Amino acid sequence: MGLSKIETFIVDLPKRRAHNWASKMTTPIGSHLIVKMVDDDGIVGWGETPAIATWGGSNMRYYGETPETAAHLISHYLWPAIEGANPTDIEAIHASMDASVKGNPYAKAAVDIAVYDLAGRTLDVPAAALLGGRIRDRIPVCHSLGIMDDDPALEEAEKVVSEGIRTIKVKTGVDAERDVRVVRKLREQLGDGIALRVDANEGYRLVSEAVTITQRMVDEAGIFLCEQPLAGARGCAEVARRLPIPVMVDESAWTTADIIEIAELGAIEVISLYVTKPGGLWRARQQSIVAESVGLISDIGGSIEMGIGNAANLQLGAATPIAQLPSVCPVSAPAGSRDGIAGAYYTDDLITEAFALEEGSLLVPDGPGLGIEVDEEKIQAYAR
């Protein structure tokens, strides 16, 4: 049952529209590394990483990765360290990867996801069972509006609400007046029944600036959550002390050590929990346990994954008690398989069947491993 073969593919999916945020205004979404892993019995596991060069922590704490750097590290370092390993020995696999490469969690996450998929298929259980078991079978969807003009944002918001979405995230942090204006217009158009949150992706520079702008959005639009208003956990904690709503950290919450630092700073109540930032499902579950122990809650965050990575997001959310908030998990679907734009960021996908969306929530796949089947012809069609 040892790991016997690995292949990597850099895939570019067609986008429904541009999706930008303050720290990523030029690089398009949807250029991800896909991993195919095979064991001695021919069982296949799939992994994905949405590595982005501009994505990292403050003060060079975490460096940006790319699909190309991840592919190189996997083929030259990570795979030689784990080839032949039993896919169910997940902790040992991580120890071997960490001994061969420092950091680079996005490369490790692609391998980790494929290992979980393969192990789950081997044992005929969902990946969530290997993370402690399901506590929920669905994840409420938060639809993300990238930094875009007012009218397209309002039009899209109205459409996704008509399709059952109850929470909308607005990307902010580039133009303060635009930030306040667009959330005010959204509240006026959508009414009080829709929850609004904002995410500046470290876009504001000063604590005072972040507090002033966010307080205006609270007063004029009733937002319920402010995500990563500026760089660094210390500044975010100071913002949180001055606001009447919770502050979530994302770029400042990558590891269990980060969670301890956040707890010591106080004031921050929410983190964005990723599969990829800590280096895969194994490390993400560890991170969530530490976060739970210090009283934090989370959503399931990500970088607009394709269906493989999104399935990993859902498996993590299903098994994680603190993942209580609606999450930006895409409604992954191959072309022509669903109507509507709620949670849709691509016009096609690599999976054979669309994820099920019911009353604004994604149902967690219940098949073995990630619970999905991959269309390898699509991978070849979209691979570079």
What would the DSSP string read from start to end of 12-59? EPPBSS---BTTBSSSPS-EEEEEEEEETT--EEEEEE---TT---GG
Domain housing 95: 3-126+376-382
**Residue 78's CATH number:** 3.30.390.10
Closest by CA position to 308, among listed 53, 33, 16, 66: 33
**Residue 272's CATH number:** 3.20.20.120
Q: Which two tokens stand for residue 338?
A: 């669903």
With contact defined as beta carbons under 8 Å apart, do 108 and 90 qualify? no
Displacement of CA 323 from its chain's centroid (Å): 12
Task: Looking at the structure, tell me whether residues 57 and 140 fall in a common domain.
Answer: no
Q: Is residue 113 part of a domain?
A: yes
Indicate the burial class of 236 (C-beta count within 10 angstroms; 0-12, 13-18, 19 or more). buried
Binned at pLDDT 50, 70 and 90, residue 24 comes out as: confident
Binned at pLDDT 50, 70 and 90, residue 29 comes out as: confident
Cα dihedral across residues 269, 275, 276, 279: positive or negative: positive
- Cβ atoms within 10 A of the Cβ of 377, count? 9
Q: Is residue 370 part of a domain?
A: no
Q: What is the pLDDT of residue 58?
A: 87
How much is the average pLDDT of 263-285? 97
Binned at pLDDT 50, 70 and 90, residue 22 comes out as: confident
Task: Looking at the structure, tell me whether residues 110 and 194 fall in a common domain.
Answer: no
pLDDT at 350 over 80: yes
Calpha distance 19→36 (Å, rounded)? 27
Binned at pLDDT 50, 70 and 90, residue 153 comes out as: very high
Percent of the chain with pLDDT over 70: 100
Closest by CA position to 231, among listed 255, 250, 208: 250
Q: Is residue 316 part of a domain?
A: yes
pLDDT at 1 over 90: no
Task: Looking at the structure, tell me whether residues 48 and 153 fall in a common domain.
Answer: no
Calpha distance 247→224 (Å, rounded)? 9
Task: Looking at the structure, tell me whether residues 112 and 141 fall in a common domain.
Answer: no
Question: Which residue type is seen at 217?
Answer: M
Binned at pLDDT 50, 70 and 90, residue 346 comes out as: very high
Q: Is residue 265 part of a domain?
A: yes
- pLDDT tens-place string over residues 287-320: 999 999 999 999 999 999 999 999 999 999 999 9
Task: Looking at the structure, tell me whether residues 143 and 47 fall in a common domain.
Answer: no
Binned at pLDDT 50, 70 and 90, residue 25 comes out as: confident
Q: What is the pLDDT of residue 59?
A: 86
Q: Residue 119: which H helix or E strand, with range?
A: helix 105-123
Q: What is the pLDDT of residue 27?
A: 80
Cα dihedral across residues 152, 154, 157, 163: positive or negative: negative
Task: Looking at the structure, tell me whether residues 350 and 309 fall in a common domain.
Answer: yes
Q: What is the mean pLDDT of the chain?
A: 96
How much is the average pLDDT of 343-362? 97
Task: Looking at the structure, tell me whether residues 135 and 257 fall in a common domain.
Answer: yes
Q: Is residue 369 part of a domain?
A: no
Q: Is residue 173 part of a domain?
A: yes
Q: What is the pLDDT of residue 132?
A: 97
Q: What is the pLDDT of residue 23?
A: 80
Q: What is the pLDDT of residue 60?
A: 86
Q: Is residue 371 part of a domain?
A: no
Task: Looking at the structure, tell me whether residues 157 and 195 fall in a common domain.
Answer: yes
pLDDT at 161 over 80: yes
Q: Residue 258: which H helix or E strand, with range?
A: helix 256-265
Q: Is residue 115 part of a domain?
A: yes
pLDDT at 42 over 80: yes
Calpha distance 383→69 (Å, rounded)? 16
Name every residue whose Cβ is closer than 8 Å to that of residue 219 and which is 6 or more positions away in sequence.
none
Least confident range from 43-47, 130-134, 172-176, 269-273: namely 172-176
Task: Looking at the structure, tell me whether residues 188 and 316 fall in a common domain.
Answer: yes
Measured CA distances, 154 to 66, 142, 165, 196, 340 (Å): 32, 15, 14, 13, 16
Task: Looking at the structure, tell me whether residues 261 and 282 fall in a common domain.
Answer: yes
- Please list, residue by residue across 167-206, b when 16 or more beta carbons sit within 10 angstroms of its beta carbon and e when fewer do: bbbbbbbbebeebbebbbbbbeebeeebbbbbbbbbbbee
Number of structural domains found in the chain: 2
Task: Looking at the structure, tell me whether residues 155 and 246 fall in a common domain.
Answer: yes
Task: Looking at the structure, tell me whether residues 315 and 169 fall in a common domain.
Answer: yes
